[in-house]
Amino acid sequence: MSLLKKVRRYSVFYFVASLCLATPLHAKVFSKDLLQEIAVSYVANQINTNDSDKTQLSALPLDSRIPDRICKSPLELTSASEPPFNRQVTIQAKCQDEQAWAQYVHVRVVEMAPVVVANANLARGEVITKSHLSIQMKPSHFVRVQYLDNPDMLIGSRSKRNIRSGMPVLLNQICMVCKGDSVNIYANLRGLRIKTTGIALEDGTLGEQVQIKNKKSGKILNARVDGVESVQVNI
């Protein structure tokens, strides 16, 4: 199948007409801004997105020297690519009346992801509360695996270094189990969940192995951090 056959053509006459009610039906004027708006709406329709927080679309500015376009027939939009689009997709806006013009508009597609950030400067050793944290949407290609998307899991933990306001809070910047703190020790035995308490002998964050001293027996245990002031041991 040729590339031309793969190109999907969509008439956006109804959309254009709604944006150009003030223009006589026999001659619609398409400014650069209007062409960019139409291209963005076309892409939004193709990816069926109504959530502007998760996907951000924006048209790259057209050359300032491009004049306003006039077309008497329904404007036709095409794209050589199909969803899911890469970070940028090129849309062709084409008029097929006697004017016979075409304009290419580049639309940037940015997928967004939630990231936990600090609302205020956090000092080393400070206990993190709910008021210290918020969620910001960041471009997903900048989001790293160590970034967090759930602030609740950090509440009650302690910062291991200074964290500036507006910066992401990473697991390696905090301790959920901090050296010298009292922690809850959990173990599963024959279907029963056993709980006791201990003293952390080192700092640890989610998923890390730390040494814990059992308060009752004095025994040193290797445990896995599974939450704030909480560890899991295998029996």
Residue 133 structural domain: 113-175
- Say yes or no: 78 and 14 in one domain: yes
Alpha-carbon dihedral sign for residues 188, 192, 195, 196: negative
Q: What is the CATH number of the domain that holds 228?
A: 2.30.30.760
Residues 117 and 162 in one domain: yes
Mean pLDDT in residue range 212-226: 94
Please tell me whether residues 21 and 95 are part of one structural domain: yes
pLDDT at 225 over 50: yes
pLDDT of residue 160: 94
- Domain match, 19 and 89 both: yes
Residue 165 sits in a domain whose CATH number is: 3.90.1210.10
d(CA 194, CA 80): 61
Average pLDDT over residues 118-145: 92
* Predicted pLDDT of residue 198: 96
Same domain, 55 and 8: yes
Could you tell me if 96 and 9 lie in one domain?
yes
Burial 47-77 (b: 16+ CB within 10 A, else e): eebeeeeebebebeebeeeeeebebeebbbb
Q: Average pLDDT over the chain, rounded to whole?
A: 86
Q: How confident is the model at residue 25 (pLDDT cuts 50, 70, 90)?
A: low
pLDDT at site 179? 95
Predicted pLDDT of residue 49: 63
Tell me, yes or no, whether 123 and 192 share the same domain.
no
pLDDT (average), residues 102-126: 94
Question: How far, in Å, CA of 31 to CA of 146, rounded?
Answer: 45
- Mark 135-149 as b/e (b = at least 16 C-beta within 10 Å): eebbeeeebeeebbe
Mean of pLDDT values over 166-176: 93
Q: Which of residues 111, 143, 167 is at a domain's end?
A: 111
Pair (55, 139) in one structural domain: no
* pLDDT exceeds 80 at position 82: yes
Q: Which helix (H) or strand (E) holds 47?
A: helix 32-47
Query: Total structural domains in the chain?
Result: 3
**Would you say residue 221 has pLDDT above 50?**
yes
* Residue 205 confidence (pLDDT) above 60: yes
Of 21-35, 58-72, 178-192, the poorest mean pLDDT is in: 21-35
What pLDDT does 126 receive? 95
Tell which of 175, 200, 216 closes a domain: 175
Q: Is the pLDDT of residue 232 over 90?
A: yes
Q: Which one of 156, 175, 194 terminates a domain?
A: 175
- 167 vs 10 pLDDT, higher one: 167
Higher per-residue pLDDT: 143 or 124 = 124
